[in-house]
Chain A
Amino acid sequence: MPTFVYMTRCDGCGQCVDICPSDIMHIDKSLRRAYNIEPNMCWECYSCVKACPHDAIDVRGYADFAPLGHSVRVKRDEKKGIIAWRIKFRNGKKDMELVAPITTKPWGTAFPKLAEEPAPSKQMRDSQLLFKEPKYIRLDDGDLRSLKTAGLKLKEGVYY
């Protein structure tokens, strides 16, 4: 569903240009507003729609299989940690609102700085363990699983 941009809402801020994973939201040089330069490389991922501070970007289903007259709108709020959707059918018979959380923590706060963690010991370096392991694997005192502890071995050929 290629995205499109409403002329009167876009102020050319470029948030969509910044975020588009497909590099298809560009600023039109004469109008100084954003538009989708390559609709057939649009995945309708809604990244630009969610990023637009002016709700200027919307989506119109792909012309090759989606009839006109529908709407799927979205509002993503990092502060509140939620995303809200509204889906409207072409025939007007369905008008749905759906809300989902996007995070359980205040946005951007819960990330470790690994440079400041105590450095891993040589023993840990020589082991198969990753950061916070083995604790984080099972969240108990169990160790990393190996073929030995599982009583398994790898054998060549077809026999299973």
Chain B
Amino acid sequence: MGYKTIIEDDIDVLVVGAGLGGTGAAFEARYWGQNKKIVIAEKANIDRSGAVAQGLYAINCYMGTRFGENNPEDHVRYARIDLMGMVREDLAFDMARHVDSSVHLFEEWGLPIMRNKKTGTYQREGRWQIMIHGESYKPIVAEAAKKSADKVYNRICVTHLLLDEAKENRIAGAVGFNVRTGNYHVFKSKTVICGAGGASNIFKPRSVGEGAGRVWYAPWSSGSAYGLMIDAGAKMTQMENRIVLARFKDGYGPVGAYFLHLKTYTQNGLGEEYESKWFPELQKMVGKEYLDPELAHRTHRPIPTCLRNHALINEVNAGRGPIHMVTMEAFKDPHLEEIGWHNFLGMTVGQAVLWAATNVDPKYENPELTTSEPYVMGSHATGCGGWASGPEDLSPPEYFWGYNRMMTVEGLFGAGDAVGCTPHAFSSGSFTEGRLAAKAACKYIDDGKANGIVVSDKQINDLKEKIYKPLETYRIYSNEVVAGSVNPNFINPRQGLDRLQKLMDEYCGGFGVNYMTNGNLLKIGMKKLNWLVEDFEKIAAQDIHELLRAWELYHRIRTSECVFQHTLFREETRWPGYYYRGDFMKLDDKNWHCLTVSRRDRKTGEYTMEKAPLYHLVEDKDETAKAS
């Protein structure tokens, strides 16, 4: 192996993964640590990386306190009901009280935010969403991060976090390799802010063959935030809470602007409204506290996303598909028609391509909707992620251990998808979380918590050997066969990914089984996944690009392992429409009104599961008040 080892030493704040969370962290860290060394390690190019690489047409988390619209506690109540109660309200409140200031910075930096011409306020799409021309959202925030960082390392696939050898359970940096040069990069750092993103492509996607990249969340979202943190021994939370999206079929184009702004609605294949007829039975499963259509109608309390999925899935299973989005009315207005198309071009160009290919003009036909394969992430209508400390002025003792957004590994912070139990952060909230983590990380260093970190050459060299092993495996065994990808000694990363997706789909509640699983299935799935973990030791990469795919697969496998553990642990069906535990088909507040927390032992690989208490803001009041 002719690859060089490049060591970047004495880093104060290392940002691993610079999507919206990571760019927020790098930007803000400079303010609180003006003399600190801030370094970004990013798998792609920070100008177009992360989930927002393609752009966005809306910012889905903006309070508008400035315009008298919402307060942070309103956001908490909204996120709470949408997630069937399972939210860290301290983290959600904290994010929500700061998020507007991030959006105001974006506007100052040149992000075009639409205005309501009558009122002068930001143009609302819905109660929480504002509309933007966000094609360059990512390059704009990246520019701000670049101004703050001492160094930006693009094209570094970070594979492992480094741990301190002087003090147990303390972070010491990260390692990875450059996906172009192949060189080994070592980042020795006092703190790490993990913004490495959630996971697509864990469950088998509906698309096949060439279209397998047409997933809802970006295909480069490899669950690395989870893989890295789990490996480091950080506690994880709510990893069972995968999300399923109701989207335009095949292209997975966004529906938010359609529902909220264009006022389109859904109907079944017979042209009937179908949602409400599933609600009485569903109410028996989840209880009136979580589904009260009458209250929802009277007030602005939303019907939880998963429950609306449930109605869609069941209507299709009843043979009355497909589900259509009724666009023909709204699209008569040329202005709204244009918005409909801009909405795709701004964030899911592929849907526009598909409609162009299939002659779908929503003015004359109502496009099909479908439910996607599940995704494991923590910033949309779901809250998978790391178990992080809240801020000191809000959090109860069980949620607080010294530094905001710090994980249970000292010096390891998170932002965006990395932080669990903070759904509905979206782009702006993730950026804000990055800022919060950065301030806390600087304080952690200033408090002397990162003194005396020791990283031995052995730790660095052992990881180096591990990282390049797939290349070695290929070199040794590939010539044993004449040609082709079939080899008795190894599998390649794509073969491993296919196996992972198939078993996640069939045993962990993918679309192929209508999101259904149970204890028996989960246990079989875990056994099969464990064989994949073993086979990963024999993964082969023929070049550096495949080595990247191999380590992405590794992070996806770690994530999946954790998803299995959590799904098995929570013996109830908390989110019908996201997944079902067939052996526990009801929501069970008596036993499961709590958060699930896991920890993987670094030495044995064994998981320990525990329940963490759920704290709520006292009242549920304002919903009626807001409706008037």
A138-B100 in contact given A153-B618, A154-B89 (Cβ < 8 Å): yes
Bound-state Cα–Cα, A64 to B350, Å: 13
Indicate if the CB atoms of B353 and A61 lie closer than 8 Å.
yes
* Interface status of B586 (Cβ within 8 A of chain A): no
Indicate if the CB atoms of B112 and A21 lie closer than 8 Å.
no
* Interface status of A28 (Cβ within 8 A of chain B): no
Give, as a whole number of angstroms, the nearest-CB distance from B371 to chain A.
Answer: 16
The count of residues in chain A whose C-beta lies closer than 8 Å to any C-beta of chain B is 91
Bound-state Cα–Cα, A47 to B345, Å: 12
- Which of B210-218, B277-285, B503-511, B563-571 makes up part of the contact surface? B210-218
* Interface status of A79 (Cβ within 8 A of chain B): no
Indicate if the CB atoms of B213 and A131 lie closer than 8 Å.
no
Question: In the complex, which of the residues A91, A147, A154, A155 has the most CB atoms of chain B within 10 Å of its own CB atom?
Answer: A154
Give the bracket for the number of chain B residues in contact with chain A: 35 or more
* Interface status of B548 (Cβ within 8 A of chain A): yes
A22-B66 in contact given A47-B48, A65-B354, A111-B147 (Cβ < 8 Å): no
**DSSP class of B's interface residues: helix, strand, loop or mixed?**
helix
A23-B213 in contact given A43-B218, A44-B349, A89-B359 (Cβ < 8 Å): no
* Interface status of A31 (Cβ within 8 A of chain B): no
Q: Which A residue's beta carbon lies closest to that of B212?
A: A40
- Which of B1-9, B132-140, B164-172, B475-483 makes up part of the contact surface? B132-140
Bound-state Cα–Cα, A138 to B72, Å: 12
Using Cβ atoms and an 8 Å threshold, which residues of chain B touch A87?
Answer: 341, 352, 356
Indicate if the CB atoms of B545 and A130 lie closer than 8 Å.
no
A152-B617 in contact given A44-B353, A103-B110 (Cβ < 8 Å): yes
Q: Which B residue's beta carbon lies closest to that of A96?
A: B341
**DSSP class of A's interface residues: helix, strand, loop or mixed?**
loop
Using Cβ atoms and an 8 Å threshold, which residues of chain B touch A72?
Answer: 345, 349, 352-353, 356
Indicate if the CB atoms of A131 and B435 lie closer than 8 Å.
yes
Using Cβ atoms and an 8 Å threshold, which residues of chain A touch B259?
Answer: none
A19-B45 in contact given A26-B545, A45-B349, A147-B93 (Cβ < 8 Å): yes
* Interface status of B527 (Cβ within 8 A of chain A): no
Within 8 A of B (CB), among A54-79: 59, 61-72, 74, 76, 78
* Interface status of A137 (Cβ within 8 A of chain B): yes
Bound-state Cα–Cα, A21 to B139, Å: 12
Using Cβ atoms and an 8 Å threshold, which residues of chain B touch A74?
Answer: 345, 349
Bound-state Cα–Cα, A40 to B352, Å: 18
Indicate if the CB atoms of A139 and B617 lie closer than 8 Å.
no
A98-B341 in contact given A137-B65, A156-B614, A160-B620 (Cβ < 8 Å): yes
Using Cβ atoms and an 8 Å threshold, which residues of chain B touch A133?
Answer: 98, 101
Using Cβ atoms and an 8 Å threshold, which residues of chain A touch B48?
Answer: 19-21, 45, 47
Bound-state Cα–Cα, A18 to B42, Å: 13
* Interface status of B427 (Cβ within 8 A of chain A): no
Using Cβ atoms and an 8 Å threshold, which residues of chain A touch B619?
Answer: 152, 160
- Which of B233-241, B311-319, B390-398, B601-609 makes up part of the contact surface? B390-398
Indicate if the CB atoms of B30 and A40 lie closer than 8 Å.
no
* Interface status of A102 (Cβ within 8 A of chain B): yes
Within 8 A of B (CB), among A135-160: 136-140, 142, 144-147, 150, 152-160
Bound-state Cα–Cα, A38 to B140, Å: 28
Question: In the complex, which of the residues B27, B135, B619 has the most CB atoms of chain A within 10 Å of its own CB atom?
Answer: B135
Q: Which of A41, A61, A146 contacts B354 (CB 8 A)?
A: A61
Question: In the complex, which of the residues B219, B250, B396 has the most CB atoms of chain A within 10 Å of its own CB atom?
Answer: B219
Bound-state Cα–Cα, A35 to B389, Å: 45
* Interface status of B589 (Cβ within 8 A of chain A): yes
Indicate if the CB atoms of B147 and A112 lie closer than 8 Å.
yes
Using Cβ atoms and an 8 Å threshold, which residues of chain B touch A105?
Answer: 109-110
Give, as a whole number of angstroms, the nearest-CB distance from A57 to chain B.
Answer: 13
* Interface status of A85 (Cβ within 8 A of chain B): yes
* Interface status of B261 (Cβ within 8 A of chain A): no
Using Cβ atoms and an 8 Å threshold, which residues of chain A touch B179?
Answer: 23
A111-B215 in contact given A64-B208, A150-B73 (Cβ < 8 Å): no
Q: Which B residue's beta carbon lies closest to that of A76?
A: B135
Using Cβ atoms and an 8 Å threshold, which residues of chain B touch A102?
Answer: 112, 133, 135-136
Indicate if the CB atoms of A125 and B289 lie closer than 8 Å.
no
Q: Which of A62, A94, A115, A154 contacts B616 (CB 8 A)?
A: A154
Give, as a whole number of angstroms, the nearest-CB distance from A97 to chain B.
Answer: 10
Using Cβ atoms and an 8 Å threshold, which residues of chain A touch B614?
Answer: 156-158
Q: Which of B47, B53, B140, B338 contacts A45 (CB 8 A)?
A: B53
Indicate if the CB atoms of A93 and B361 lie closer than 8 Å.
yes
Indicate if the CB atoms of A40 and B136 lie closer than 8 Å.
no
Indicate if the CB atoms of B133 and A19 lie closer than 8 Å.
no
* Interface status of A39 (Cβ within 8 A of chain B): yes
Question: In the complex, which of the residues A78, A101, A111, A115 has the most CB atoms of chain B within 10 Å of its own CB atom?
Answer: A111
Question: In the complex, which of the residues B105, B144, B211, B615 has the most CB atoms of chain A within 10 Å of its own CB atom?
Answer: B211
Bound-state Cα–Cα, A153 to B110, Å: 38
Give, as a whole number of angstroms, the nearest-CB distance from A108 to chain B.
Answer: 6
Q: What are 21 A-B pairs with beta-carbon distances under 8 A?
A: A18-B45, A41-B220, A43-B220, A47-B53, A47-B54, A62-B213, A64-B210, A69-B357, A87-B356, A90-B356, A93-B359, A107-B110, A114-B28, A114-B148, A115-B148, A128-B94, A128-B391, A139-B104, A147-B617, A156-B614, A160-B616
Q: Which 4 A-B pairs have the closest CB atoms?
A: A105-B110, A62-B211, A70-B356, A136-B101
Listed in ascending order, the chain A residues whose CB lies under 8 Å from chain B are 1-2, 18-23, 26, 37-47, 59, 61-72, 74, 76, 78, 83, 85, 87-91, 93-94, 96, 98, 100-105, 107-115, 117, 119-120, 125, 128, 130-133, 136-140, 142, 144-147, 150, 152-160
Listed in ascending order, the chain B residues whose CB lies under 8 Å from chain A are 27-28, 30-32, 34, 43-45, 47-50, 53-54, 65-66, 71-73, 80, 85, 89-90, 93-94, 97-98, 100-101, 104-105, 107-112, 133, 135-136, 140, 143-144, 147-148, 155, 179, 207-215, 218-220, 250, 289, 338, 341-342, 345-346, 349-350, 352-354, 356-359, 361, 391, 393-396, 435-436, 439, 443, 446, 545, 548-549, 589, 593, 613-620
* Extra contacts besides A43-B219, A93-B359, A109-B110 (5): CB < 8 Å: A64-B209, A72-B353, A74-B349, A115-B30, A154-B90
